[in-house]
Structure 1
Amino acid sequence: MSNVTFTMIKPDAVKNGNIGNILQMINNAGFRIVAMKYTKLSLEQAGKFYEVHSARPFYGELTEFMSSGPIVAAILEKENAVADFRTLIGATNPAEAAEGTIRKKYATSIGENAVHGSDSDENALIEGSFFFSGLERF
């Protein structure tokens, strides 16, 4: 079990001014930010990041959305990071997310659900490496 996970604050949450609120929730939950950047994905970069979903019907909509505006990418550290972060962000559908979760508070729909969170230790390492070199991790 790894002690790191990866997250992105998605374009909807950035546009709606929720970066600070979401980062505060992450800090309050005991995560330490070991790398973070404010950036914007091109359509090609979003396609590469979400390549695992390329055969799914929502792939085009997802990559267009993720390249529609700035995002905040971050690597987070905490014991049991992936599972604890998945609990903190809540269900993909904000209508089904538990009270007090990031998606319950800040997501507007299944598609515009405020944050991405790695679903496994392996994917956390792959996703973090997509955005950050070893020199950018502290």
Structure 2
Amino acid sequence: MNSERILILIKPDGVNLGHIGEVITRIELKGYEIESLKVTHATKDQLHKHYANLVDKPFYPDIESYMTEGPIVAIIATGTKIVNVFHRMAGDTDPSKAAFGTIRGDLGREWSDGLLRNVVHSSDSVESAEKEIKIWFPEK
């Protein structure tokens, strides 16, 4: 089996609530390798490229607002079938529906302002991962 790369973003709520170590620990406990990691602030340009298929949706301004609330941690992780496995580790995008034992089920929650904050982003395919990695790690 060939090794895959995935982009994982620990979103502003995950950073703010101190979940960086927990997410990294879960990656490492599965035996995956962290190739690159950086703390950064999302730019509008990065978000437009990352969420290109959502920019025209009425809820996109909420995504942009959320993703610029504070710093994020961008990670490139590698391993066999990591895209599929980490996507399952992250859980349902709605933290209220995510199974306990997943990152979103254990660390995510509903917020009073109604914005969907769900701790992490994970690429949903090898192709998406490579596109997303270029956005967040242009040097890679």
Same-fold status (TM-score > 0.5): yes
Conserved in 2, the CA contact under 8 Å of 1:2 and 1:121? no
Paired residue total: 134
Identify the range of structure 1 (84-93 vs 2-11) with the bigger mean alpha-carbon deviation.
2-11
Q: Which amino acid aligns with 2:73?
A: V
What is the rounded CA distance, in whole Å, between the counterparts of 1:17 and 1:64 in structure 2?
Answer: 20
What is the rounded CA distance, in whole Å, between the counterparts of 1:75 and 1:16 in structure 2?
Answer: 21
Q: Map of 1:21-40 to 2, 5 A cutoff?
A: 21-40=22-41
Q: Map of 1:82-121 to 2, 5 A cutoff?
A: 82-109=83-110, 111-121=116-126
Alignment RMSD: 1.6
Q: Residue 2 of structure 1: CA displacement?
A: 5.9
Match of 1:128 among 92, 109, 133: 133
Q: In the alignment, which residue of structure 1 is the partner of 2:57?
A: 56
Q: Percent identity?
A: 36
Q: Which amino acid aligns with 1:28?
A: L
Q: Residue 51 of structure 1: CA displacement?
A: 1.8
Q: Which amino acid aligns with 2:75?
A: A
User: Would you tell me which structure has more helix in proportion to its own residues?
Assistant: 1
Q: In the alignment, which residue of structure 2 is the partner of 1:73?
A: 74
The TM-score normalised by the length of structure 1 is 0.89
Q: Which runs of 4+ in 1 moved over 6 A?
A: none
SS of the residue 1:113 aligns to: coil
Q: Deviations over 1:88-132 (max 9, x none)?
A: 100001122122110011112371000001111111001011111
Q: Deviations over 1:44-90 (max 9, x none)?
A: 43233212211222211001110110000011111111100111100
Change over 3 Å in CA distance of 1:64–1:44 after alignment to 2: farther
Structure 1: state its 5+ residue gaps. none
Structure 2: state its 5+ residue gaps. none
